[in-house]
Amino acid sequence: MSDSSHPLVVACDVSKSVVGPEGALDILRGVNLQILPGESFAIVGASGSGKTTLLGLLAGLDTSSSGSIHLDGHALESLDEEARADLRRRLVGFVFQSFHLLPALTAEENVMLPLELEGASDARSRARQALDAVGLTSRRRHYPAQLSGGEQQRVAIARAFVHGPRVLFADEPTGNLDQRTGHHICDLLFALNRDHHTTLVLVTHDAELAARCDRRIELEEGRVVAAGAHS
Amino acid sequence: MRMLWLALRSLRREWHLPELRTLAASLVLAVVALGVVATLAARIERGMLAGAAELIGGDIGVSSPQALPDNYADAARHRGLQIAHSASFPSVAFAGDQTQLLDVLAAGPRYPLRGTLQLGDAAGRSHIGQAPAPGQVYLDHRALVALNLKVGQPLQLGGRELTIAAELQRQPDGGQLLALAPRALMNLADARQAGLLDPGSRARHRLLLAGEPSAVDAWRQQVQASALPQGAQLITPEQTQERMRTSFDRAGAFLRLTALLSALLAGIAIALSAQRYARRKTAEVALLRALGTPRRQVMGLLLGTLGALAIPATALGAALALGLSQLAWLFASTLFGSAPTSLPLAPSFAAAAMGLAVLAGFALPPLARLAEVPPVAVFRQSATRKTRRFDALYLIPVLVALGLIWAQSQSLTLAGILAASLLGVAVVAALLAALMLWLARRVAPGAHPGLRLGLAALARRRTLSLIQATALSLGMCALLLLAIVAPALLQGWRQELPPDTPNWFAMNLQDDQREGFAQALEKIGGEKLNMMPLAVGKLTTINGQPIDQVHFEDERADDRADRQLRLSWADALPPSNQVIAGQWPGPHPAQAEVSVDTTWRDMFALKLGDTLRFDIGEGSIDAKITSIRKVDWSSFRVNFFLMLDPAHAGNLPHTWLASFYLPPGHADGLAQLSRDYGNLSLIDVDSLLDRVREIVDRVGNAVRWILGFSLLAGALVLAAALAASAAERQHEAALLRTLGARRAQLRVAAACEFALLGLIAGLTAALGAAGAGWWLGRAVFHIEHFMPPLVPLTLAAIAAALVVMALGLVGTRKVSRTPPMRLLREG
Ligand SMILES: Nc1ncnc2c1ncn2[C@@H]1O[C@H](COP(=O)(O)OP(=O)(O)OP(=O)(O)O)[C@@H](O)[C@H]1O
Ligand SMILES: [Mg+2]
C-alpha cells in the first residue's frame, strides 16, 4: 500500500454534523480530497470553517457522519476506535498549536512516548536522535516548563516523527509562536517532508506557510471552496 | 443575605465536582471518627462516675489481705453505720468433669449496702436479691456456661458442695472494671469454714460501710488518724473512679489516637480537594476580579460556598457519630458492665467543631491564595502560579493538627510525643514509599510497557503519589498491627513456652500438707511439681531509712512500697533467672542476703550492698543485696522480685506455692484434691490465658471497626488525589490516545499505577507493622525469636494492592474513554 502513485489520504464526500442544543449543525458538507505520499498539503479557511474538524477526521481521531475516508488504504469508517488507534500509532504523527507536551516528563521522555506505546526497546536512543535532528541535543533533560514555546514545539515535532510516521498532521503549528520562530518551525517541518518523504497535512491561517505547501484547499462553512496547487 | 444566596447557588452548580464531594466526605468522616470515640469515652466515664458508690457496694470501705481487727467494725457500729463483711479470692469450681477458675466473692448477710444485687431464677426472670444463704452460691452467666450448669444444680467450690440458687446478673464489685474470670458469689460463713480465708490465703477481706455522710466522714477521719494494718487500703469512691479511669485511659488513648489519625488523614484529603477546587476556580476568580468584584466579596463567596457545604456535612457527621456510638455501646457495654447511662451529646458537638477546625485549617490556605488572584490573570494564567518558597499560610494546618493532638491527648508533653511520633511514622512511611518508588523506577526499563507507563504516571505526580502512599500506609499499618501482629504476638508468646510448662498453680499449701499433696498429685497424673516457699511482708527501710521518708523518682515505687510483697528463697538460682551483678548466695552466708530483680533495682534505685528491712509476720529481717537478677517474666514459671537466702529465711512464717503440669483431661482428680485440701487456691493458667485472649479479642473487635475509619480516611485521600489529578489524567489520556495508545494499554497502565501505589502503601504498612511487632515482641513480650507473621502481612500488602487498584480503576474509569479529539479542541 505504500506505492507512491496511490494517494495516502482519500476523502470521499465527507460530511460531519453534530446535534447541539439548537438542533443539528452541519460542520462539514461533502468534502472530497486526495493527498499523495510525500506531498505537503495545506487546509486554510476562516475561523469556524471546519478545518480542525476535517483534520481530526483525516487523522482518524473522529468519525465522519457520512462519506468515507481512506488512510493508507484503510477505510476509517469501518474501523472501531481501537483499530484506528493502532493505525495512528503506526502511520501518523501530530503537531498541535499548543504543543501538548506532558509537563512532568522531560523532553526526551516526551519524545519517547510513541515508541513506548509500540513497546520499542531502543526508545531512548531513537528519541535522542530525534532531538538531535531538531537541534535540542543539549535540552534533553529539561522539562517543558523550562523550554520556550519554540523549543517546546520542536520537541513536539521530534515526538511527531520519532517513530517514522508516513503522514504528519499539524493544526496551526505556528499559531502560538512569533513570526521568526514560526518560520523556523516551518523550515523544520518542510525539511522532514523533503528528507523523509513524510506527507505533511497542515491547517493554518498563515498565508506564507500555506504558500509553501505543494497543494492547498480552502474551506468555507464546511465546504471546499477553492483548491489549488503550486508548481 | 444576598451573599448566602449566591453561595448556595454556586454550591448547587458545583456540587457535581468530585473535589467538593471528597471534601464533604472527608469532613463527615473526621467528625464521625472524633465524635464516636469521644462519645464512647464520655459515656464510659459518666457511667463510672455515676455508679462509683454503687459499684463499691457501700459508701466507704477497707480492704485487707488479713481479716481486719474488730475495732474497725466496732467504731462504725458505734457511729450508727451499717456494716457488711466480704472477701474475694480466685478459686476453681468443679462440676462433673468440668473445671473453671472463678472470681469468688464471699459475702455476709447485709451485702450489698449500696447498689443492688440483681439475680435471675431458673426460668430466667430477674429480681433483686441478697447475699446467698449458707450452702448456696450464685454464678454469673459465663460461669454457668463454662461449667455447663443450670440454676438449681450442685457444684464443688472450695471443697464443699453448694447449690446454685440463682444466676448472678449484676453485682456491686468494688470497682473491678474487667473481671478476668467468671464470677461466683457465696456465703461468707461457708468460705470461712472451708478454710478459704485462712491466713496466707489469697483472699482479700473487705469491710464496707454505709450511712449518714457525716458519720462516714467521721469514721474515715478516725481510721486515717492511725496507720492501717499492713497491706490494708481504704476503698473510696474517688479511688475507684481513679482506678477505673486509668485502666480505661489506656484503651481510650489508643482509640483517640486512631480517631486523630483518621481526622488528620481526612485533613490531608480536604487539603488536596481544596487545592484542586482553588485551581479550578482560578480563572473564574480572575474574571470576577477583572470585572471589578472586590476581593472581600470574592472571599465572601468562597467562604460562603465552603460554609454551605460544611454545615450540613458536620451535622451529618455528628448525627452519624451519635448513631454509631449508640450501636457500639450496645456491643461494648457488656465489657464495661456498668450502670446504664444516657447518650452524651456534647462530645459530638465538640467533634463537629473540631471538624470545622480541620476544614478551616486544611482548606483555607489554598482558598485564601485564591482571593489574591490578580485581575491580570485573565490574560496570563501563569500570573497566578507564583511559587513561594515559604508560605506562612501553610503553618495553619500544622497549628490545627497540633491543636487537635493537644485536645485529644489533654497533656502538652503527651501531645508533643504524639505529634513527634506521628510525624516520625509519616516521615518513615514517606521515605519507605519514596525508596520503593525509586527501586521500581530502577527496574522499569526492562518491564512491561503498561507497567512502565504506570510507573511513569506515579513518578510524574511524585508528591501526590507519596502523599497517597503515606496516608494509605498509615491507615493500613494501624489495622495490620491490631488484626495480624497482635494475635501473632499472643500466640508466639504462648508457643515459646515448653509444652510441659506448669499449667496449674496451687497457693496456700501448709508445711505439713506438702508431702501428702505431692503424693496425691502424682496419683492423679500431675507432673513437674515444684514448690516454692512464700512469705508475705512489707518493705520498711532501705539502708536504715524508713521508705515513707524516701523520695523515689519512679512513680511506681510509692505504690509498690505500700503493698504486700511476696518473698521466696531457694538453694539454686531458679530457671529463667540470670544473675547480672553480684553473686547468688552461698549455702551459709554470714548475714541475711537478698537478690533483687532488675525491675526493683530500677524502681527503688537499689544497688549491690544496700540493706533492706522486711517486716514479715510478727518479726522482721534485714537483708543485704548481694545479687541482681534478670528475670524472664513471660516464662510462666513462678518467679519473684525478691529472693532471700534459705539459711536465714527458712524460719520466717510462710506457706508454699506449688506449680505443676496436669495433662488435659485429668481435672476430675483435681476436684478430689481440692476437696481434700480445702484451704488451697487452685489457679488454672490455661484458662487464665484463655481469658486474657478473650478480652484482647473482644477489645480488639470493639476497636477494629474504629480503625476502619483511618482506613477509610486513607481511601478518601486517594479519592481526593484522583480528583486533584483528574484533569491532568484526562489530558494525558487524550494525548496518549492521539498517539495511538489502545484503551487496554491505558487501562493496564492505570491498573499498574494503582496496584503499584497500593503495593507500596501495603508493603510500607506491612513493614511498619512487622517492625512494630518485632519491637513489641522483644521489648514487651520478651519473645526471643519472634518472627512477625510475614506471609499474612505480605498477603495483606497484596490485598492492599488489589483494593487500591480496584478503587483507582473505578475512580479513573472515565479517563480511558476520553475522546482523542479533545486534544485538538483544547488550548
Ligand atoms: N462537538 C461539537 N459540537 C458542536 N459544535 C461543534 C463541535 N465541534 C465543532 N463544532 C463547531 O464546528 C465549527 C467548526 O469548528 P472547527 O474547530 O473545525 O473550526 P476551525 O476551522 O478549526 O476554526 P479555528 O480556525 O477557529 O480553529 C465551529 O462552528 C464549531 O463551533
Ligand atoms: Mg481549529
What is the Å distance from ligand 1's center to A48 Cα?
5
Of all helices (H) and strands (E), which one includes residue A217?
strand A215-220
Ligand 1 and A48: CB distance under 6 A: yes
Find the Cα–Cα–Cα–Cα dihedral B249, B254, B255, B258, rounded to 10°.
Answer: 150
CA B368, B369, B375, B379 dihedral sign is: negative
Q: Is A171 on the interface with B (CB under 8 A)?
A: yes
Three-state SS annotation for A182-201: HHHHHHHHHHHHHHHCCEEE
Contact of B289 with chain A, judged by CB distance below 8 Å, is answered with: no
Rounded to the nearest 10°, the torsion over CA A139, A141, A145, A151 is 20
In a domain, A119, yes or no: yes
Cβ contact (<8 Å) for A104 and B738?
A: no
Q: How many CB pairs under 8 A join A and B?
A: 73
Residue position matching grid coordinates 446478673: B169
Sequence length of chain A is: 231
Q: How far is the CA of B812 from the centre of ligand 1 (A)?
A: 28
Q: Under an 8 A CB cutoff, do A104 and B460 touch?
A: yes
Q: Is residue A14 part of a domain?
A: no
User: CA nearest A102 in B: which residue?
Assistant: B732
CB nearest to A56's CB, from B741, B745, B821: B821
Confirm if B534 and B657 have CB atoms less than 8 A apart.
yes
CA distances (Å), origin A16, targets A73, A170, B565: 21, 20, 96
Higher pLDDT, B605 or A130: A130
Q: Closest ligand 1 atom to the C-alpha of A45? A: 21
What pairs with residue B154 in β-bridges?
B163
Helix axes B237-290, B685-738, angle to 10 degrees: 0
Q: Which of A47, A61, A64 to probe the B interface (max B CBs under 10 A)?
A: A61
Q: For A173, which residue in chain B has the nearest alpha carbon?
A: B824
What interhelical angle do B449-460 and B412-443 show, nearest 10? 140
In a domain, A20, yes or no: no
Would you say A16 and A28 are in contact if contact means Cβ atoms under 8 Å apart?
Answer: yes
Rounded distance, CA B679 to CA B670, Å? 14
Nearest to A55 among B736, B824, B826 (CB): B824
What are the chain B neighbours of A105 within 8 Å (beta carbons)? 456, 460
**Nearest-5° Cα angle at B67, B65 to B73:** 125
Which residues 722-741 of chain B have a CB within 8 Å of chain A?
731-732, 735-741
- Residue at A94 is within a domain: yes
Contact in structure between B717 and B467 (CB atoms under 8 Å): yes
CB B739 within 8 A of CB A89: yes
* Residue in chain B lying closest to A86 (CA): B740
Question: Cα–chain-centroid distance for residue A31?
Answer: 18
Mean pLDDT, residues A66-70 taken together: 93
Q: How far apart are CA B541 and CA B491, in angstroms?
A: 42
Q: Hey, whose CA ends up nearest to atom 14 of ligand 1? A: A50
How far is it, in rounded angstroms, from Cα B412 to Cα B260? 16
**Nearest-CA distance B439 → chain A (Å):** 18
Spell out the residues 6+ positions from residue B335 whose beta carbon is closer than 8 angstroms to its own: B178, B698, B699, B702
Nearest CA in chain B to A104: B460
Which backbone phi and psi does B10 adopt, to 5 degrees? -65, -35
Looking at residue B654, what DSSP letter applies? Answer: -
- Sorted by sequence, the CB contacts under 8 Å of residue A3 that are 6+ apart come out as none
Closest ligand, as measured to the CA of A96: 2
- pLDDT for position B30: 87
Distance CA B751, CA B772 (A): 31
Rounded Cα gap, residues B575 and B639, in angstroms: 9
Chain A residue numbers with beta carbons less than 8 Å from the beta carbon of B461 are: 104
List, as one string, the DSSP characters of B76-130. Answer: HHHTT-EEEEEEEEEEEEEETTEEEEEEEEEE-TT--SSS-EEEE-TT--EEEE-
- Is the Cβ pair A100, B823 closer than 8 Å? yes
Domain of A115, CATH number, reads 3.40.50.300
Long-range residue pairs from B215-220, CB within 8 A, at least 24 positions apart, any chain: B215/B79, B215/B80, B215/B81, B216/B59, B216/B60, B216/B81, B218/B79, B219/B60, B219/B75, B219/B76, B219/B79, B219/B81, B220/B60
Nearest residue in chain A measured CA to CA from B737: A85
Q: Which three cell numbers stand for residue B176?
A: 473491678
- How many whole angstroms separate alpha carbon B318 and alpha carbon B35? 7
* Residue owning the nearest CA to atom 31 of ligand 1: A48
* Count of structural domains, chain A: 1
Q: Are B211 and B82 in contact (CB under 8 A)?
A: yes
Q: How do beta strands A9-20 and A66-71 pair?
A: antiparallel
Residue type, A198: T
Residue from A19, A25, A64, A169 whose mutation best tests the ligand 1 pocket (most atoms within 8 A of CB) = A25
Contact B449 A117 (CB under 8 A): yes
DSSP string, B393-431: GGHHHHHHHHHHHHHHH-SHHHHHHHHHHHHHHHHHHHH
pLDDT of amino acid B383: 46
* Residues of B with Cβ-Cβ distance to A65 under 8 angstroms: none
Interface test with A, best of B738, B743, B746, B747 (most A CBs within 10 A): B738
**How many Å lie between the alpha carbon of B819 and the closest alpha carbon of chain A?**
8
Residue A18 near ligand 1, beta carbon < 6 Å: yes
Q: Do the domain assignments include residue A173? A: yes
Contact at 8 Å (CB) between A56 and A16? no
Q: Which three cell numbers stand for residue A18?
A: 453534530
According to the model, what pLDDT value does residue B69 have? 83
Q: At B164, which amino acid appears? A: I
CB contact under 8 A, B740 and A92: yes
User: For residue B746, what is the nearest residue in chain A, using CA coordinates?
Assistant: A117
Q: Are strands B98-107 and B183-187 parallel, antiparallel or unpaired?
A: parallel
* CA dist., res. B476 & res. B488, Å (int): 17
pLDDT along chain B (827 residues), means of 10: 79 86 90 84 64 70 82 87 87 82 85 81 84 90 82 87 87 52 86 80 82 84 78 72 56 69 85 86 82 83 89 93 83 53 81 89 84 70 49 76 76 68 76 79 67 75 81 80 72 63 78 85 81 84 82 67 77 84 84 87 85 84 90 70 86 84 74 71 67 57 68 82 82 87 85 86 85 74 72 88 89 82 75
Q: Judge: B742–A55 Cβ closer than 8 Å, yes or no.
A: no
Given a cut of 90, whether residue A127 has pLDDT beyond it is yes
In the three-class reduction of DSSP (H, G, I as helix; E, B as strand; rest coil), residue B145 is classed as helix
Q: Is the CB of A29 under 6 A from ligand 1?
A: no
Cα separation of B324 and A82, whole Å? Answer: 49
Instruction: Tell me what pLDDT residue B423 has.
Output: 77
Cis omega before residue B112 (within 30°)?
Answer: yes
Report whether B106 contacts B135 (CB < 8 A).
Answer: no
DSSP code of residue B211: S
Nearest CA to ligand 1 atom 8: A53
Interface test with chain B among A87, A96, A176, by most B beta carbons within 10 Å: A96
What is the distance in A from the centroid of ligand 2 to the CA of A51?
6
Å from CA of B581 to ligand 2 middle: 89
Confidence of residue A1 (pLDDT cuts 50, 70, 90): very low
Distance A47 CA to ligand 2 centre (A): 7
- Is B453 in contact with A116 (Cβ distance < 8 A)? yes
- B530 and B499 in contact (C-beta within 8 Å)? no
- The helix (H) or strand (E) run that includes residue B478 is helix B462-480
Residue A46, ligand 1, Cβ within 6 A: no
Q: Calculate the alpha carbon distances from A128 to A100, A122, A153, A162, B794 in Å.
A: 19, 10, 16, 9, 41
Q: Could you tell me if residue A2 is inside a domain?
A: no
pLDDT at B740: 87
Pairing of strands B204-210, B233-235: unpaired
Q: Is residue A77 part of a domain?
A: no
State the cell numbers at B476. 493500613
Burial B14-53 (b: 16+ CB within 10 A, else e): beebbbbbbbbbbbbbbbbbbbbbbbbbbbbbbbbeebbb
| Chain B contact for A113 (CB, 8 A cutoff) | yes
Ligand 1 mean position to B825 CA, how many Å? 8
Label residue B225 left, alpha or beta by phi (over 0 means left) and psi (-120 to 50 means alpha).
alpha
Measured in degrees and rounded to the nearest 5, phi and psi for residue A98 equal: -105, 40
d(CA B441, CA B462): 12
Is A34 within the bounds of a domain?
A: no
B820 touching A (Cβ < 8 Å): yes
Place of cell 493554518: A204
CA B462 to each of CA A221, B275, B641: distance values in angstroms, whole numbers, following the listed order:
46, 16, 55
> CB burial class (10 A; 0-12, 13-18, 19+) of residue B70?
exposed
Question: What does DSSP assign to residue A55?
Answer: H
- Scan residues 452-481 of B and list those with Cβ closer than 8 Å to A: 452-453, 456, 459-461
- Domain holding A181, by residue range, is 39-61+87-229
Q: Does ligand 1 have an atom closer than 6 angstroms to the CB of A53?
A: yes
- Nearest alpha carbon to residue B274 among B709, B603, B793, B721: B721
